[in-house]
Amino acid sequence: MPDQHAAVQPPSPAPGPQRTEFYGRLKGQSLTPLWEVLKGLVPPEPRPTPLPHIWHYDTLRPYLLEAASLVTAEEAERRVLVLENPAFAGKSRATATLYAGIQIVLDGEVAPAHRHTASALRFVLESSGGFTAVGGERTTMRVGDFVITPSWAWHDHGNASGQPIMWMDILDLPMVNFFEGGFSEHHNDQTQSIGRPEGDALARYGAGLLPLDGTGPFGKTSPIFSYPFDRTRAALATVAAAGSADPHWGTTLRYSNPSDGGWAMPTISSWMTHVGAGTSTKAVRSTDGMVVAVAEGRGTVRVGDKRMSFGPRDVFVLPNWTPRSFEAESDCFLFCSSDRVAQEKLGLWREERLQA
């Protein structure tokens, strides 16, 4: 919370002719007087730039199919419609720090293998059995699954299911590009070699057991790169049935790295929230802006003074430091991602639970 006892700074007087002339000479030397810009650099509390916005899947899907008829997966490399926050037109950002998009792969197609320093996650919106391969292991992508592509891991996607597969991508590209630390590389082959059977990572790391060496293949990222929705949903339903829902967060469980118990990814936090039919949550705000995909259910999200109705597979943005709350018409399972883990490491993350 901002310091309640901080002194109120008086408004800066309009610069006179001498000061204006001085500022002009400073500009010529690539210098700027701090006292003229301090209020913008050190605000009393966050001033969110992103706007609350929702993309309805029923509106998105026809555009994705049309894109698939016009551009091949190989030609595009990644055939994605970027979810651009209206406040960041032309900047490929959903929030200040996260990129989001919806990707489509048709039956018989392959999205070629490549790798990059940006970390990525997939949340599956529609699938009859498409797949992704990460670091030499292939996993089937089912609706509601959370799949990780760790930094600098080879990955490709394919589909032989007879139906299109579509998923939401979230990447930490704005963070990586802020540091100007982005690298990428194309594989020599369209698909990578598969060296482990499907389910290997989940068996090694996802059963409450760990290999003796305790070392995962992806550095600071969880060695489980696919978190099946059926497990997540069952866990949330069991916890919710115990009647222990938090008034502000509903029933929420975060995806974790079994190696250290931390968040599953080093720069992107992800969790699933359940809000029971006919219930609502109290308003809360935090310093992390969120991208939310609806796994199941219908309801309304209130963010600031705006209300947005949502249904299955819709995606919406909740700006940072803006009160948010949910009202569920039916049982809602909401997949949420933000930069909370990065903020926590920097000592920046804050939350305020409101009573209204």
Mean pLDDT of 150-158: 94
DSSP designation for 121: E
Q: Is the pLDDT of residue 62 over 50?
A: yes
Q: How far is CA 69 from the centre of its chain?
A: 28
Q: Which carries the bigger pLDDT value, residue 285 or residue 219? A: 285
3-state secondary structure of 114: strand
Q: Is the pLDDT of residue 2 over 50?
A: no
Those residues whose C-beta lies under 8 Å from the C-beta of residue 14, and which sit 6 or more positions away, are none
Q: Which carries the bigger pLDDT value, residue 188 or residue 94? A: 94
Which domains are seen in the chain, by residue range?
53-180+197-353 (2.60.120.10)
Mean pLDDT of 46-67: 98
DSSP string, 247-262: TTTBEEEE-B-TTTSS
Question: What percentage of residues in the chain have a pLDDT greater than 90?
Answer: 86
- What per-residue confidence (pLDDT) applies to 189? 85
Tell me the average pLDDT of the chain.
94
Q: Each residue of 293-304: pLDDT tens digit?
A: 999 999 999 999
Q: Is the pLDDT of residue 28 over 90?
A: yes
Q: Band the pLDDT of 1: cuts 50, 70, 90.
A: very low
Q: How far is CA 134 from CA 59, 90, 167, 187, 194, in A?
A: 31, 30, 16, 13, 9
Instruction: Specify the residue for token string 């482990």.
Output: 196
Q: Is 222 exposed, middle or buried (0-12, 13-18, 19+ CB in 10 A)?
A: buried
- What per-residue confidence (pLDDT) applies to 146? 98
Instruction: Specify the residue for token string 């209204």.
Output: 356
pTM of the model: 0.93
